[in-house]
Structure 1
Amino acid sequence: MTRTFLNRILLLIALLAGSTTVIQGAETATSILDRASAKIRSDKSIAATYTISADGHLHSGTLTIAGDRFILTSPQISSWYDGKTQWTYSTQTGEVNITEPTPEELQQVNPFAIINSFRKLYKASLLKSPATEKKIKLT
């Protein structure tokens, strides 16, 4: 799983959370991500289906987050984390990797950890997008 791929999933979560809240005044990338983070923390779980275009390829699948646990499924990979152990299955190789990721490793793969640490790890900026969407770039 690449960091870019997970960042795009993170943006999907931000869009999902942002679509349920009406904001008065000027919106910023930070305010959108803050709302997404609050939504994830307050809900028992949050699920989304996604299609992402990256490097000329389409990636689609589902993502479910419940607290610090997550399940990510796509035709290429399935990954799930129970709060301690992470299993990652590659459909290409037919192999399952089982790890107990360190906090640093989780910062790179857990969508919840990424969205909660965006202030420390990323500079967030809004990109031009249609009125029905919010596109955020994390650098």
Structure 2
Amino acid sequence: MKIKSLLFTFWVLCLAFPMVAQQPDARDILDRAADAFRREGGIKITFSVRAPEGNSNGSIRLKGDKFLLETEGVTTWFDGRTQWSYLASSDEVNVSEPAPEELQSINPYSWLSLYNQDYKLKVVKVGNASDDTTYKVVMTATKRSQDMQCVILYIEKGSFRPLKLSMVQRGSKDAVIVFINSYQTGKNYDDSLFVFDKQAYPTAEIVDLR
């Protein structure tokens, strides 16, 4: 389940912003990425994950702070307050109300507000010094107690769209890397999409953790 939890952190900044004349700093890049997302409407992203525990694929649909995340064997709905996680292997649904801190490992777009808290930000060169197409933004935790100690975002310069995400959890030396394969914006999602539908899972056991 560790990969599944880390996956939730991935979905970062799906954007479309014009370039400015001056080179933006790390906070400016993330601020405009956050702004873009809030004005973008519904978004759908497909992704693949490379982790020490193995590789996996999935998709996420987002609307504001709501999301529907589908990975291999796990489906998670979040309506802005309540979260439902369905585990296919046990035909079980866990219901909870995650705190803002917990959303770092659940809600992809929690980073849109959390990057302003307890993280040191900087822009560094991409591995290929001649690469003039990508921003590499490094987020380093300022507290050892934070679960996610380092997050690296690769953002396309021309569009400010995310390309890749690398993250290292507290107590681990291995990075989990998320590759964005495709994304679509301007989707018209009904709020009901982000709420668990009991009728669609009639045999599922409901475990209320609230």
Asked whether 1:136 is paired with 2:137, we answer yes
Match of 1:96 in 2: 93
Indicate if the aligned counterparts of 1:108 and 1:114 stay in contact, CA closer than 8 A: no
Secondary structure at 2:122's aligned position in 1?
A: strand
Indicate if the aligned counterparts of 1:48 and 1:62 stay in contact, CA closer than 8 A: yes
Asked whether 1:46 is paired with 2:48, we answer no
The CA RMSD measured in Å over matched residues stands at 2.6
> Could you say if the C-alpha distance between residues 117 and 91 of structure 1 is closer, same or farther in structure 2, counting changes exceeding 3 Å?
same
TM norm structure 1 = 0.74
1:6 maps to amino acid: F
2:138 maps to amino acid: K
Asked whether 1:110 is paired with 2:112, we answer no
Residues 119-134 of structure 1: pairs in structure 2 closer than 5 A: 119-126=116-123, 128=126, 130-134=131-135
Deviations 1:87-133 (A, max 9, x none): 11223433211112233433542222222221113223345255444
> Could you say if the C-alpha distance between residues 134 and 114 of structure 1 is closer, same or farther in structure 2, counting changes exceeding 3 Å?
same
Match of 1:71 in 2: 68
1:88 maps to amino acid: S
Higher strand share: 2
**Unaligned regions of 5+ residues in structure 2, if any?**
141-210
Q: Highest CA radius of gyration, 1 or 2?
A: 2
Match of 1:6 in 2: 8
**Unaligned regions of 5+ residues in structure 1, if any?**
none
Indicate if the aligned counterparts of 2:7 and 2:105 stay in contact, CA closer than 8 A: no
Higher helix share: 1
- C-alpha separation in 1, matches of 2:55 and 2:17: 26
Indicate if the aligned counterparts of 2:81 and 2:98 stay in contact, CA closer than 8 A: yes
Secondary structure at 1:39's aligned position in 2?
A: helix
TM norm structure 2 = 0.53
Asked whether 1:22 is paired with 2:19, we answer yes
Q: With a CA cutoff of 8 Å and minimum separation of 6, indicate the structure with the bigger relative contact order.
A: 2
- Paired residues in the alignment total 133
